[in-house]
A and B are shown apart, each in its own frame.
Chain A
Amino acid sequence: MPLYLYGVVRPDCALPADLTGVGPDDSPVRTVAVSDGLGAVVSELDGEQPLEGRDVLAHKRVLDEVFTACTVLPFRFGTVAQDDEQLQTELEAHAGDYLETLQMLEDKVEVEVTASYDEDAVLGEILAARPDVRELSRSTQGAPEMRSLVELGEVVAEEVDRWRDAELARLVDRLAPSSSGYAERAPRQDAALRAAFLVARDSLPAFDAALGDLARETQGRYAIETVGPLPPYSFTGADWSPARREE
Chain B
Amino acid sequence: MAVAYGSRGPNSSGLYEVLDLILDKGLVIDAYVRVSLVGIEILTIDARIVVASVDTYLRFAEAVNRLELGGGQDQQKPGVPELLSQGVEGGARSKAKGALSGAGETISNALPGGGDQDQGPGLMDRAREAIGDKLGGGEQETGEDAGDEGDRQAQPQSGQSRRGPGPSAGRAPREERRPPQRRGSR
Contacts and interface: CB of A to CB of B under 8 A. Distances in A.
B115 A237 contact: no
Interface string B1-34: 1111110101111010111111111111111111
Interface in A119-146: 119-121, 123-128, 133-134, 137-138, 140-141
Main secondary structure, interface of A, reads mixed
Contacts, number: 295
Q: Please indicate which of the listed interface residues A53, A82, A157, A160 has the most CB atoms of chain B within 10 Å of its own CB.
A: A53
Contact of B15 (A60, A111, A153, A221): A60
Interface residues of A, number: 101
Given A47-B151, A68-B10, A237 B64 contact: no
A116 B93 CA distance: 13
B50 A241 contact: no
B122 to A, nearest CB: 13
Given A116-B87, A223-B80, 15 more contacts: A48-B149, A60-B15, A68-B10, A75-B26, A77-B23, A120-B63, A149-B61, A150-B61, A152-B65, A181-B180, A208-B8, A234-B25, A235-B180, A238-B181, A241-B185
A170 interface: no
Interface of A: 5, 7-8, 24, 47-53, 56-57, 59-60, 64, 68, 73-82, 86, 89-90, 94, 97-98, 100-101, 104, 111-112, 116, 118-121, 123-128, 133-134, 137-138, 140-141, 149-150, 152-154, 156-157, 160-161, 169, 181, 185-190, 192, 196, 208, 211-212, 215-216, 220-230, 233-242, 244
Contact of A238 (B25, B40, B149, B176): B176
A76 B180 contact: no
A169 B72 CA distance: 27
5 contacts: A50-B115, A157-B57, A224-B1, A230-B21, A238-B183
